[in-house]
Chain A
Amino acid sequence: MSKRIQAKDVNVYYGDFLAVEGVNIEIEPRTVTAFIGPSGCGKTTFLRTINRMHEVIPGAYVTGELKLDNDNIYEPGVDPVNVRGLVGMVFQRPNPFPTMSIRDNVLAGYKINGRRLSSSDADELVERALRGANIWEEVKDRLDKPGSGLSGGQQQRLCIARTIAVKPEVILMDEPCSALDPISTLAIEDLIEELKEQYTVVIVTHNMQQAARVSDKTGFFNIAGTGKPGHLIEYDDTEKIFSNPSNKQTEDYVSGRFG
C-alpha cells in the first residue's frame, strides 16, 4: 500500500483562469506532506487535482502529468472514479452522510457502490476502520445512530474512518482541523501520525504549528497578487522550511512577516 506522488509541470485551470502554475513535486510514500501558504494561493486547488476532484467543478481542468507510482492519472482514458478509489480525501468541514447511521457511513464506499459484503466481513471492516480513525471506543455502542449526532471532532474522525474503509493508497486532507477545537485537533494530529505508517498523507493547513508538528516535508505555495496564478515556491524537509528556508518569501511567511 501507499504510493509515490509525482507531479510534472502541472497547471490547474478554472475555465480560462490559470489558478496554479507549473507545480513540480515528488512526494514519498509513507510520509506526511503539508502544504502551507496564504489564502487563495492554490494549495487546496492543487490538493484536489491529486484525486481528480478538481474537475467536478464545471469548466475546471488540469494540464501536465501527475503520477501515482508509474501511472499518470491525467492520461486520456483514465477513469476518475478509479483514481478516487486509490486517493481518498477528507474535507475541511466534517460531512458525514446525514441519512445514514455511523455504521452505514463507514460502509458507504462499499454499499453505495453495490459491492456485497457478508455481515461478518462488514462488522470487521467497520471495527477496523473506526479503530484506525481512533473513534471505535467512542461510538461502538451506537453504531446504528445517525452520524450527524456526533460532535464535530468525532464527525471528522468518522469521515477519516469512512475514507480508510475503502483502503486507499493516499489520503488527502483539506484543512481537516480548521472547524475543530484544540482537543479534537490533537486527536486528529495523533491520528495523522499513525496513518503515515500505511498511507501517503498530504495535508493542507493554515496552521503553521500544525504543519511543523505533523509533517515530514512541507511545501510553501504563494501568489504574486490577485488574479495571478499560484506557485509552489519551496518544497523541502519541514525542519529546513521552518528553521532555515532557502527562499526569502518562505522565510517571510513562516516568520510571520506577511500572510
Chain B
Amino acid sequence: MSTLTDSSAKSPQPDDSGGSGRSMNSLKAGQLPRWSRPATLGGAIVVSLVVFLITGWTTAGFAVVAALLFLVAQTVWSTLVEGKRHGMDAFWGTLVWLAFFLALVPLVSVLWTVISIGGPTLVTPGFLSSDMQGITGTQDRIAQEGGMLAGGIKHALIGSLLITVAATVISVPIGLLTSIWLVEYSTGSWLSRTITFLVDVMTGIPSIVAGLFAAGIMMTFFEWANNGISGGRQTMGITAAIALSVLMIPVVVRTTEEMLRVVPNELREASYALGIRKWRTIFKVVIPTAISGIASGVTLAIARVVGETAPILVTAGVATGVNWNLFYGWMMTLPVYIYRQLMNPTAPAAPDPSTARAWGAALVLIIVVMLLNLIARLIARKFAPKTAGR
C-alpha cells in the first residue's frame, strides 16, 4: 500500500474494492467509499435512537446527539483512512450540512404549522369574500360547537392591498430619483455622503417609530387645518401608507443604487458619444439596463412592508368592514387582523373561531408574500438584458 493519502487524482482504471485500501490503483488508495456519509449518518441516528429509547425520549436531545455522533464519526473515520487534511475537510463539510438543516428547521416548521392549521380556514366558503361586519359572539359560539365558521378577511385583504399600493406609489419615485441623483449626478460630494448615511440610518428605524412619525405628521396637519383640533381624523389608510413608505424608501434607494452602479460606464459613454443628453441617457439606456434588478428590489421591499403590524395599528387603526377610501376612516389590514383576532377574540368565551380566522389570514399573508417574490423573479427574468445567442 502506498503512503499517498492525497486522493484527488482521478484514474481511468476501474476500482474493484470499495475503497478499503486494497485498491489496484495506488493513486486511489486511502479513500473513503462513497457510501461513507450516509452510513455514518444512519449509524448515528440508530445509536441515538437506541440511547433515547432506553433512557426516555426527547426529540431535541435525539437530534442533537445524532448530529454530534455523525460529526465525530465522519471526522474520525476520514482522518484515520484519508489523512488529516481530509479529516478537516470532512469536519467542516459535515458542519456546513448540519448548519443548513438547522436553518431549514424553523422555515419548514413555520410553513407546516401555518398550512396545516390555516388551510382548513382558507377553504371555508366565504372566508375571502366576507368581512367581519355583523359577526358577534353568537355566531362564534355556534361555530365553536361545530357550526360553520362565519366572517372573513375581505376587508383586511382590501386594506392591505390599498395601503401597500399607496406606499409603493409614494416611495418608488422618491427612492428611484434619490438613487439616480446619488449615482449619476453627485460626484462624491459631502451632500451625497450625508444622504447615503441618512439612508443607512433610515434602514434601521424601528417600524413603530415610523408609524408614530406618520401619525404625528398627519395629526399636526389636521390640527393646523382645523384650528388645533385633529379629532382623530389622522387615522386613515394614507397615514399608514406614509409610515410604510418611510420603511420602504431606504430599501428602494439601496437596491436601485446598487443596480445603477453595476451598469457599465461604457454604455453611458456610448450614449454620450451619439450626442444624447444625460437625462435621456439615464432614462433610456441606464435604467432599462438595470430595470430587472430595480423591479425585483422594489417587489422585495413591498414584500417586506406588507407584513408590518405595529405602524399600521397606530396609523390606520382597526375596522370590521370594507373601507375603500384611503383618505377617510379606519382601515383593516391582514397583519392587524391577525393581531386583533388573537388578542381580542370576537367571543371571549369561545376564542377558537377567532384563532382559526387568524391562522387563515396568516396563511393568506404568506401566500401574498410568496407571490410577490415570485413576481419579482419573473420581472427580473423578463426585463433582463438580452444576451442569449452569442
Contact = CB atoms under 8 A, between A and B. Distances in A.
B276 A97 contact: no
B288 A99 contact: yes
Q: Contact size class for A?
A: 20 to 34
Contacts of B268: 56
A81 B389 contact: no
Contacts of A162: 270, 274
Contact of A113 (B188, B275, B291, B388): B275
Interface stretch (A83-91, A208-216, A251-259): A83-91
Nearest to B188: A58
B271 A148 contact: no
Nearest to A165: B274
A82 B266 contact: no
Contacts of B225: none
A149 B277 contact: no
A56 B184 CA distance: 11
A198 B187 CA distance: 39
A112 B285 CA distance: 8
Given A146-B389, A148-B385, A148-B390, A112 B276 contact: yes
A88 B288 contact: no
A149 B388 contact: yes
Interface in A160-199: 162-163, 166
A148 B388 CA distance: 8
B280 A98 contact: no
A39 interface: no
B389 A112 contact: no
B270 A97 contact: yes
Given A58-B187, A98-B387, A91 B269 contact: yes
Interface string B350-390: 00000000000000000000000000000000000111111
B275 A163 contact: no
A201 interface: no
Nearest to B281: A112
A67 interface: no
A53 B269 contact: yes
6 closest Cβ pairs, A-B complex: A85-B275, A146-B386, A98-B385, A149-B389, A89-B273, A109-B274
